[in-house]
Amino acid sequence: MAELVEIVVTPDQLLLDPNNPRLFDRPIERAAIASELIDCEETQSRLLTEIGRAKHGLDDLVYSIQAQGFVNLDTLLVKPLHGTGKFLVLEGNRRTAAIKTLLASADVSQDSKDSLRNLAVKELKLTAGEDEEEEIQKIISMRHLSGPRQWSPIARASAIYQNYMLQHKKLVGGPMNIFTDRVLARTSQIIGMQKPQLKHAMGVFAIYQELADSGFPVKAEHFSLLELLVKARAMASEYFRFNSEQLRTYDDGLEKINDFFIDENRIVKNPQDFNKVKSVFSRGTTEELDFIRLGAKRIDNVIRDINDRKKDSSFADTLKNVRDTLEKLPVSAFRDTDREAMAVMSLKRLIDKKFVPIAQQQLGLDD
């Protein structure tokens, strides 16, 4: 069974992980990056720049370490990077970046720098026959996917996607064409998450990745809207052409998703807008969604048209129900005279000649 063994290292021995799901919007398989490419100045400089972006909150962490010293409440987790004498940081990339930033700063006192020269970390040690990638995924999953220190939705989905693809490669091989039960079961076991949750997260991430690969300006801020889309399975499939079993979007689906959810002039900017689009899909027509997409009609006007149609159709439906009821009246109901039967026939003629044409006119069926 894998163990975490405490060792002491210097910051120079720590390498930032280019596969950390929190850093980038798309996953990269660990196996695809050679050790010498990880342990090179260009890669590490690029990673330090990325972690320094405002969204990662590095400045606050640097200030905290500078003011209070490095408090190792959550120990850095590392693994040896074979052939380099260095360690890849599996957990704690932000803290490692903050330490490296402080050591490179001319504004930090020498005493403060000296206090950061030796760091206690935990090294992942495996027993014979254990799968390194799988053990890493188990540890990360326990902490950040189904555990108490959960990552952002996009980082979680990226890690889930990586995990599933790793298991698919092991158990099935080749590219993924459709979800496989045994791969789902194995991934679910490792991550500690139920299959429907896994499929949902992977579906959202698959759309996100397809958009990015196709050159659409998708960003992390759009992720929550794509989550809403994947939950609306019928609309995602029928109008936006997303196949949730194959994790593929067909025909003009990506263009539609971009126009509704991603583009600067997108129609859906918040959950309220999404509910309006969903209402048009369920109560209106796909042509009306196209009108909205192309800017030919405003969504509020389309919804008003749908509501008006529903009112008009309810009048026509009521007439039909009344006429059907009259049609079904048994002859035995007219016991005394023919006048009751004549009255019913007159009502039917009145409905057919007067009220039905009015209802058809309102519905636009009189042409």
Task: Let me know how long the chain is.
Answer: 367
Nearest to 226 by CA among 165, 153, 303, 144: 153
Residues 6 or more apart in contact with residue 134 via CB below 8 angstroms: 166, 190
Cβ pair 171, 180 in contact under 8 A: yes
pLDDT: is 207 or 189 the higher one? Answer: 207
CA distance linking residue 354 with residue 360, whole number of Å: 11
Residues 6 or more apart in contact with residue 69 via CB below 8 angstroms: 112, 115
Please measure the distance between the N-terminal and C-terminal CA atoms of the chain and give it in whole angstroms.
Answer: 77
214-245 burial, b at 16+ Cβ within 10 Å, e below that, comes to eebebeeebbebbbbbbebeebbeebbbbebe
CA distance linking residue 191 with residue 337, whole number of Å: 79
- The domain locations on the chain are 1-130, 131-295, 302-363
pLDDT for the residue numbered 338: 63
Residues 6 or more apart in contact with residue 186 via CB below 8 angstroms: 167, 171
CA distance linking residue 77 with residue 137, whole number of Å: 13
Q: What is the mean pLDDT of residues 121-148?
A: 69
Both tokens of residue 89? Answer: 């940081």
- What residue type is assigned to position 65 of the chain? I
A 10 A CB-CB count for 18 gives 20
Nearest to 221 by CA among 169, 178, 266, 184: 266
Share of the chain above pLDDT 70, in %: 71
What predicted TM-score, i.e. pTM, was given to this entire model?
Answer: 0.63
DSSP at 27: -
Per residue in 144-198, pLDDT (tens digit) is 555 545 567 887 888 888 889 888 988 998 888 899 999 999 888 878 788 999 9
Sheet holding 3-9, edge to edge: 3-9, 119-125, 76-81, 86-91, 14-15
Per residue in 71-97, pLDDT (tens digit) is 555 678 888 888 888 999 988 888 888
CA distance linking residue 357 with residue 363, whole number of Å: 10
Q: Is the pLDDT of residue 199 over 70?
A: yes
Pairing of strands 242-243, 248-249: antiparallel
- What residue type is assigned to position 157 of the chain? A
Structure confidence at residue 226 as a pLDDT band (50, 70, 90): very high
| 3-state DSSP helix/strand/coil % of the chain, to nearest 5 | 60, 10, 30
Nearest to 205 by CA among 176, 170, 181, 238: 176
